[in-house]
Structures are given as C-alpha cells and as structure tokens.
Amino acid sequence: MLEELSVRNLGILASASVEVPTGLVVVTGETGAGKTLLIGALRLLAGENANRGSVGPNGDELSVAGRFVIADEDVVVQRKVTTKGRSRAYLGGEITAAGELGRTIGSRVDVVAQHEGFRLASAAGALAFLDSTLPAKGQKALTTYDAAYRTWRTLVAEREEMGDDTRALEREREMAIFQAEEIAASGFSVGEDADLQIRVERLRNAEEIVSLLGSIDEFIHGDPGVAGLLGETARSVAKLVRVDSTASPLVSQLEEMEALLGEFMADVTRRAMDDSDSDEVLAVVEDRIALLGQLRRKYGDSLEDVLAFGKQAASRVAEITELIARSETLDDDIAAALTTVVDAGDVLSRHRRARADQVAVGATRHLAELGFDGPTVRFNIEEVVPLASGTNRVGLLFASHESLAPEPIGRIASGGELSRLVLALRLAAGIDTADIVAFDEIDAGVGGTTARAMGARLQELATGRQVFCVTHLPQVAAFADGHIVVERTGAVATARVLDDAERVDEVARMLSGLPDSESGHSHAAELLASSQR
C-alpha cells in the first residue's frame, strides 16, 4: 500500500504532501486542475520512463517520493527528473536504477489509462492486451514463438542477401579468382614501384654513367693519379716521422685516407660491372614497369592499392565459396525454421484462444454487474501468415444487449460503454491481483445509475487493496474510502485529503457546481450516506 505521497514541481502541481488513505481513493477537482498528475507521480515511482517535459516551472527539477508498506515493512521510494532529461531513482535512500523500481513497486501497481478503450479497438491493441493476460505457460509459448520467428527471419534475410542465382555467385567467384591470381602472379611487393623507377633512370643513362665511371678510374689510376700521389705522400710522411716523432698521428690519418680510397675504388669497379649488361636489364625493368601500369589501370592508382585489391579478391573468393556451400543447405534450413515457427504459432494460438474465452466470460459477467442487460464480449481470433506478433489477428467484438450481434468495439461502442468494457476486461484479466490499481478517468461517458454501479464495483475491488480513481462523477466519488482534491489557483495546483465535511462540499460541487448550495449539500450528504457499505 502507498502510505504517503510527496510531489514537488510536477507540471503545474507545485507542491503536495498527503497521507494516502486505504481502500478506494478518488481524486477529484475542476477540469484542468491537474488531477492526472497524481497518477503520473505513481507511474514515476513504479519505474516508468521519465519525461523532462513533466518538470514544472518552479525550478529545474521535479521530485516525487512515496512511502510504501510491503510485507509489513516501510519502503521509501523517490524519483527526480531534471529539465535536461536526467532521471535519478532512489530506493530506501540508496540510488538505484529505474528498472529496480519497476521490479519492487511497478510489479505491484497496475495503471489503467483513460484511452485504453481506443487502443483495444485496434487489432494490435487487442492482441497486446490478450498477450499481457496470458498465464505462465502462455508467456513461455510467446517467448518460444518469438525466438523461432527471429531465427527464421534471420535465415530469410541471409537468403535475400545471397540472392537466388547461384550461377551468378559462381561467375563472381571465377572473376575474383582471376583477379587474385593475376596480382599474386605478378610478384610485386610493397615499395617495388619506387625501386623500379630508380633502376630505370640509371639504365636509361647507362652510357653516360659508364663514361663518367671511366673518367673517375683514369683520374685515380692515371699518371700521376690520386693513387700515385697518395703513395708519394705516404713515403714523405714516413720520412717526416723519423725526424719528428710528434708527426706520428699523420700516419694513421693517411691510412684512413688510403682505406677510404680503397672502398671508393671498389665501389666504382662494382658499378662499372653492374652496368655491363645494361641493355638486357633495361628491357626487363621496362617490362616490369609496363606490367605494373596494366595492373594499376585495372585495380588501383598505386601499387599499394593493387596489392590491397588482391587481398580483397582472395578474401572474396573464400567468402563466395562459403556462400555457395551455404546455399546448398540454406533453403532446407529456411523450410525447417518455418515449420518450427508455424508449430510454435499453433501452440501460442491455443493458449490465446483458451485465455480469450476465459477473459470474455469474466468480462461479460462484470458488464452485467455494471448495468448491461445480456451483454456479449468475444475475441475474434483469425489465423494469418507468420508475423512478429504470431500467427493470429485478434479483434474485440462487443454487443451491449443479447438481441444485438457482436461487432468490433471501435465501430459501435460509445464512450461510456468503452469505459465499462475496459474496466470489465481488466477485472476479468486479473487486475485485482495487484496491490495498487489506478484508474485514470476510466468512467468517462458514464453517468446516473451506471455510474453508481461502477462506483460500487470499484469499492468492491478495493477490498484488501488500494484503488485510485481519477473521476468527474459524484456517484463514483461517493463510494470512496478516501478523497483527495486537486485545486488550482492560476498556474499553481495543490492537493490535499478531505475530511468528512469537506467531502460533502466537494461532492455538492460535483453534483451541481454550487458548493454552497443547501440543496446541493443535502443531495451530496444523501449520496454519500447511501454509498457506504
């Protein structure tokens, strides 16, 4: 049960702190006063999604707190939402996830919205409602079907991506094989294009290079030549050292010069030998460059691009090979998966039909208690091709009298009939198993004797649990065990619990719009007295 509720800056509800009565608790007030905001506060405490648009004008944050009694223990819950959309949840003073509030509080709360009748009028809404009422075995069948359907759709998507023409895959594989082998057979490696450019430049200038190398050799070995001069220098240095020992470092320096000259002469000789067959080598290098040009025209702007294309082609060959092998078994897998889906759909359909009959019988009984004479409620369940929701299309049929043929509720039910039908369906579906039930203007379009019947039914429902009902009807409000009024002054609303005398004033206002009228007070007092157990 909810014992205390505190709200701050929730929409126009600036501040409210109430000790919540037990049993049937009605919430009343003028149109636009903000009555539904209290149900919104309960939704937040139950872990539902927070909306930053709910933050009121009195600050950058809204706060909702509640004290519940669960298994004879106090549980304090709080929810805060900022204008930036940040939401924080607290359970027992400790920060927690909103999902944890859903498990702790939300599992004990059932909120019936005022527009639920319109959702039930659609096939999707009727199916969603029916599925929400399925017992454990039905929920398991729903999960099994969902898994089977996902598996089947994954296989179908794989087939669509692959295409139905295996021959096209074979042709694509042959092309990829040719491309990968052509690039691999070329034998190119990263950086070889730059090396080829250097080599071809040398080979194309081979004649001039040979001439220059000859000149260098003549300069070194000629008469007198660098080598001869260096030898004469060595002899002079040796004589110098014999007469001046301090000149000995010149010997090592001269030896270094001789070593460098030796390396230089060896390098010149090697280069001269390398260029001895330059014509043959030039032809080979130019052929290599031409081959690279052909590959670049086909596969990329650079050698790196060509080599990358070759790797991709080889990878594509392996991928297509696997696809072709997969294609040979995929159709069988799809057929088997579809059979599994159909079988799972049949099981789910049986659970749905059984549950639909139970809910329809219970709803019909409750409708009779709510003032209908021989009403009919029936779920029309048709078999359809497998969809994500199952193999059924569900419609809700209704007749307000036994003389009428049941028809889709969206076509024939009035607002008042929809309100009672929603209540009857939720009662039949087991809404009375929740500890706290909240009806958000579920009595729209109802009045007179029917309203009293609805109030009495809500009062019965509140036995052993807490039932909140936002209502405009004095006949419903008169059955309440506790009465909260929401009052608005300008752009600010507040909420408070009424005492017995204030209840008479509020019911009189609801009856006649004249809270100070003596006759209104008399009628209100009479209505309240007659509505008590």
Residue 213: pLDDT band (50, 70, 90) is low
Residue 283: pLDDT band (50, 70, 90) is confident
Dump pLDDT digits (tens) for 219-256: 776 666 766 777 777 777 777 777 777 777 877 887 77
Torsional sign, CA 370, 126, 464, 466 = negative
**DSSP conformation letters of 137-169:** HHHHHHHHHHHHHHHHHHHHHHHHHH-S-HHHH
518 or 143: which leads in pLDDT: 143
Above 60 in pLDDT, residue 398?
yes
Compute CA distances 531 → 25, 225, 446, 464, whole Å.
Answer: 14, 134, 17, 18
Distance of CA 465 to the CA centre of its chain: 36
Above 90 in pLDDT, residue 79?
yes
Dump pLDDT digits (tens) for 334-392: 999 999 999 999 999 999 999 999 999 999 998 888 878 899 999 999 999 999 999 99
Residue 289: pLDDT band (50, 70, 90) is confident
Cis check: omega of the bond before 406, within 30 degrees of 0: no
Domain that holds residue 300: 169-318
**392 occurs within a structural domain:** no
**461 occurs within a structural domain:** no
147 or 401: which leads in pLDDT: 147
**54 occurs within a structural domain:** no
Percent of the chain with pLDDT over 70: 90
Long-range CB pairs of 79-83, under 8 A, 24+ apart, other chains included: 79/44, 79/45, 79/50, 81/44, 81/50, 81/51, 81/52, 81/54, 81/55, 82/52, 82/55, 83/52, 83/55
Above 80 in pLDDT, residue 18?
yes
**176 occurs within a structural domain:** yes
What count of other Cβ atoms lies within 10 Å of the Cβ of residue 415?
12
Span 417-421, average pLDDT: 80
424 or 202: which leads in pLDDT: 424
CB 417 within 8 A of CB 441: no
Task: Give, to the nearest 10 degrees, the angle between helix 206-221 and helix 225-243.
Answer: 30
Residues 6+ apart with CB under 8 A from 400: 372, 375, 412, 413, 417
Span 448-463, average pLDDT: 84
Q: How far apart are the first and last CA of the chain?
A: 21
Above 60 in pLDDT, residue 277?
no
In this prediction, residue 325 carries a pLDDT of 78
Torsional sign, CA 502, 506, 512, 516 = positive
Find where tokens 């709803």 sit: 363
Residues 240, 241, 246, 251, Cα dihedral to 10°: 100
In this prediction, residue 190 carries a pLDDT of 83
**306 occurs within a structural domain:** yes
- Phi–psi pair at 439, nearest 5 degrees: -110, 120
> Six-digit token pair at 59?
């600050």
CB 285 within 8 A of CB 192: no
Dump pLDDT digits (tens) for 30-45: 888 888 899 899 999 9
Q: Can you tell me the distance from the alpha carbon of 509 to that of 518, in angstroms, rounded to the nearest whole number?
A: 11
161 or 523: which leads in pLDDT: 523
In this prediction, residue 134 carries a pLDDT of 93
In this prediction, residue 360 carries a pLDDT of 95
In this prediction, residue 485 carries a pLDDT of 92
**240 occurs within a structural domain:** yes
Domain count, the chain: 1
Q: Can you tell me the distance from the alpha carbon of 2 to that of 43, in angstroms, rounded to the nearest whole number?
A: 13
Q: Can you tell me the distance from the alpha carbon of 296 to that of 305, in angstroms, rounded to the nearest whole number?
A: 8
**CA 407-409-414 angle, 5° bins:** 115
**293 occurs within a structural domain:** yes
**90 occurs within a structural domain:** no
Total length of the chain: 533
For residue 397, give the nearest of 363, 348, 354 by alpha carbon.
Answer: 363
CB 77 within 8 A of CB 66: yes
Please state whether beta strands 492-497 and 482-489 pair in parallel, antiparallel, or not at all (unpaired). antiparallel
HSE at residue 460, side-chain half, CA atoms within 13 A, is 11
Above 90 in pLDDT, residue 200?
no
